[in-house]
Amino acid sequence: MRRSYAAVAAVVALVGLAAGLCASGQSVDELIARNLESKGGLARMRAIQTMKQTRRMNLQGMDSPVVVFAKRPNLVRQEISTGGRLIVMAYDGVTPWIVNPHSGSNSAIQVMGPQADSIRQDSDFDGPLVDYREKGTTIELVGTEALGMGKVHHLKVTSRRGLVQHYYLDTATALEVKLVTETDTGTIEQELTDYREVEGIKIPFIIRTIANGVKQGEIRVEKVEFNIKIDDALFRMPKGQN
């Protein structure tokens, strides 16, 4: 059954090392180091305190403008304009919440369960690969595999909450070309292409989403802004809502 636009949009938006060696002899830590260097380097990444992305999302045949705000260490807010209404999904570092007028209410509600865990995971400003041990994340090098016309290093990333994601790093660039998230209802795949440099940081400008083998839509990034002023209040669940 085809999921509702808002439900799919909610998924789209927003310990130790299981040691292993790939065919080229690279360890998990070496692959992660290459990945971070390819993105622009850890020092440059950590100099970024806030980010705003302006996007266009075509999902299930509907084209919608999207704005994503993020702030260290783990604050995130995504706004999707669709059908003349605004869907807001946010996390203030404590409470993940959503406002979805398409559900029949304009009130903010707290997100619970697996979706909340996914929002918390995605709110990590640097992503799960940076300082993964300190975060209680386990990363396993599954191996080197063929993907499309090229080859990728396959990393299995398991968060301390048990959320499992699969990262596929291009063997030539070490950049992510595919992410797969395991959910209770199946898998969500994201194909990342058209990497461009913004202030020394590599950003994928096209992200295609596939749910359980069926293409759901595509995100095209229009603009990326770093270190702009963003008030913490933007991420908080509106008072009086529950």
Encode pLDDT of 182-213 as tens digits. 988 889 999 999 999 999 999 999 999 998 88
pLDDT of residue 242: 44
What are residue 130's DSSP bridge partners? none
How many CA atoms lie less than 13 Å away from 126 in the CB half-sphere? 19
- pTM listed for this prediction: 0.85
CB 5 within 8 A of CB 216: no
Q: Provide the token pair at 218.
A: 């595509």
Q: Identify the bridge partners of residue 70 per DSSP, sorted by sequence position.
A: 51, 76
Position 113 scores a pLDDT of 87
Give residue 177's pLDDT: 97
pLDDT, tens digit, for every residue of 33-49? Answer: 999 999 999 999 999 99
Do the Cβ atoms of 6 and 103 come closer than 8 Å?
Answer: yes
